[in-house]
């Protein structure tokens, strides 16, 4: 296996590559006019790329869950080929919770803006305020 410096360097290179992919995807989805769909598409890409999973059962080395799943499905002859699925599911649940929290915040903010617009404004009748 890798020593600790190689392991950290590998994760650093992977995270830099993911950052590049996410910046590209952010730019691609920037022109979608519906905020809800735009944020959903962004989270669909972010969640599988950032979720880690153990490389071996009970091991201390971790890798991106998407790659563990692909490796297990294509190359592993024995064992459980779907052992990364729970980790991807957890990532999907966290992404869904973030998506719902963002939707709730946007709904609350729009209702607040509507209340500000519909409240009557006190008119000034020209008389000075009593001191």
Contact 43, 98 (CB under 8 A): yes
What is the residue extent of each domain of the chain? 4-117
What is the rounded distance in angstroms from the CA atom of residue 49 to the CA atom of residue 94?
13
- pTM of this structure: 0.75
The sign of the dihedral angle between the CA atoms of 67, 71, 73, 76 is negative
What is the rounded distance in angstroms from the CA atom of residue 22 to the CA atom of residue 43?
10
> What pLDDT is recorded for position 31?
93
Nearest-CA neighbor of 82 among 73, 94, 95?
73
> What pLDDT is recorded for position 97?
95
Strand ranges inside the chain, DSSP E: 52-54, 62-64
- Each of the 131 residues of the chain gets a pLDDT tens digit; together they read 678 888 889 999 999 999 999 999 999 999 999 999 999 999 999 999 999 999 888 778 889 999 999 988 888 777 787 888 999 999 999 999 999 999 999 999 988 888 888 876 666 666 676 66
> What long-range pairs does 79-85 form, CB within 8 A, spacing at least 24?
83/53, 83/57, 84/53
Please, what is the angle between helix 85-118 and helix 35-50, to 10°? Answer: 150
> What pLDDT is recorded for position 95?
93
CA 3 from centroid of its chain's CA atoms: 30
> What pLDDT is recorded for position 7?
86
Contact 21, 46 (CB under 8 A): no
């Amino acid at each position: 296996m890798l020593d600790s410096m190689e392991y950290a360097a590998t994760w650093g290179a992977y995270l830099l590559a993911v950052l590049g992919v996410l910046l590209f995807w952010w730019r691609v989805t920037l022109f979608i006019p519906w905020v809800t769909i735009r944020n959903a598409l962004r989270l669909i890409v972010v969640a599988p790329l950032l979720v880690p999973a153990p490389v071996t059962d009970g091991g201390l080395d971790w890798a991106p869950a998407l790659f563990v799943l692909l490796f297990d499905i294509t190359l592993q002859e024995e064992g459980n080929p779907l052992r990364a699925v729970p980790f991807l599911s957890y990532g999907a649940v966290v992404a869904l919770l973030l998506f719902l929290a963002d939707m709730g915040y946007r709904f609350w903010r729009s209702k607040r803006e509507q209340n500000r617009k519909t409240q009557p404004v006190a008119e000034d009748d020209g008389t000075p305020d009593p001191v």
